[in-house]
Amino acid sequence: MMNLSQAKNQLQESISGIYDSREAENISQMVMESITGWERIDISLNRQAALSVNQLERIKQIGQELLTHRPVQYILGESWFAGMKFFVDENVLVPRPETDELVNWVAEEIDNGPKGKQDLIVMDVGTGSGCIAISVKKKIPAVKMLAVDVSDAALSIAKKNSKSLNAEIELIKADFLNPSLRQELPAVDILISNPPYIPKSAGSTMSPGVVNHEPSLALFVDDHHPLVFYHALSEFGKTHLHSGGMIFAEINELMGPSVLELFERDGWELEMRKDLQGKHRMIKAWKS
């Protein structure tokens, strides 16, 4: 019978051909935590624990799926974000660490803002798994949180996560790129979005796990209109942001100057921040 340490090492070695050593180790750790239900410290303390036949079979199946480049989060059906476990599948993006940084920025601004939190209306555009909307709601329970997406499947997953994490959010189906439908959305105090911003032509340079498994609708934009979502956010902000309102958005680091130019041209004041990797990945826009 194989123990936990042996199984982890075997899995890590089996996927080392398509993942670098650090990523293979992280993935193997995630699998062991999911299989055993133990946290990292428990895994470390119980390295010699024997695994059951069913557990070993499941690890074998996961290893085979990992070799197809399917993201481990989809295989396990879960992704940790902001200290919470979210259900995910191929209908929504896997939450990224830089998105957590954006959430923290929003919460920081709300905490330091002049308006009472119980009066704030916050909207997350392109909510996907609901990770942004739910995390903001958990950090600032007094806000009214709206979550918008064009995908029925994504909204279903966001609803599932809001229930499991006990976070009350209002889900709205709408195509934010449709001007007439966008105009029907309610006015808000804060607008947040991690919109699609990768030109389709860049797909050939990206990881097969991302390109072949994550939803293209949430990733890619037309090469000729790469800033289409930022234009929509700016236009919506002009007409639907309450006085003193703010827009927060993730950006493609390579398009930072272009995004800034778009918002400045529309009369917005701007701040651009780097993520923990030192890359310009998020902006805040407001009217002075």
Looking up residue 207, the CATH number of its domain turns out to be 3.40.50.150
Residue 53 and residue 121 in one domain: no
User: What local confidence, expressed as pLDDT, does residue 201 receive?
Assistant: 84
Termini Cα distance of the chain = 67
Give a yes or no: residue 158 inside a domain.
yes
Give a yes or no: residue 75 inside a domain.
no
Max alpha carbon distance in the chain (Å)? 67
- 1 pLDDT higher than 80: no
Pick from 67, 82, 100: which residue ends a domain? 67
pLDDT per residue over 28-56, tens digit each? 999 999 999 999 999 989 899 999 999 99
Mean pLDDT over the full length of the chain? 94
Q: How far is CA 44 from the centre of its chain?
A: 29
pTM of the model: 0.94
Residue 102 and residue 212 in one domain: yes
User: What local confidence, expressed as pLDDT, does residue 116 receive?
Assistant: 66
Residue 199's pLDDT band, with cuts at 50, 70 and 90, is confident
Residue 57 and residue 104 in one domain: no
User: What local confidence, expressed as pLDDT, does residue 11 receive?
Assistant: 96
Give a yes or no: residue 116 inside a domain.
yes
Say how far apart CA 40 and CA 180 lie, in whole Å.
49
Residue 227 and residue 164 in one domain: yes
Residue 172 and residue 30 in one domain: no
Residue 122 and residue 259 in one domain: yes
Helix, strand, coil percentages for the chain (3-state, nearest 5): 50, 20, 30
Q: Compute the average pLDDT of residues 184-198.
A: 95
- 146 pLDDT higher than 90: yes
Domain residue limits at 157: 91-286
pLDDT per residue over 245-256, tens digit each? 999 999 999 889
Comparing 140-144, 176-180, 212-216, 228-232, the range with the smallest average pLDDT is 212-216
- 107 pLDDT higher than 90: yes
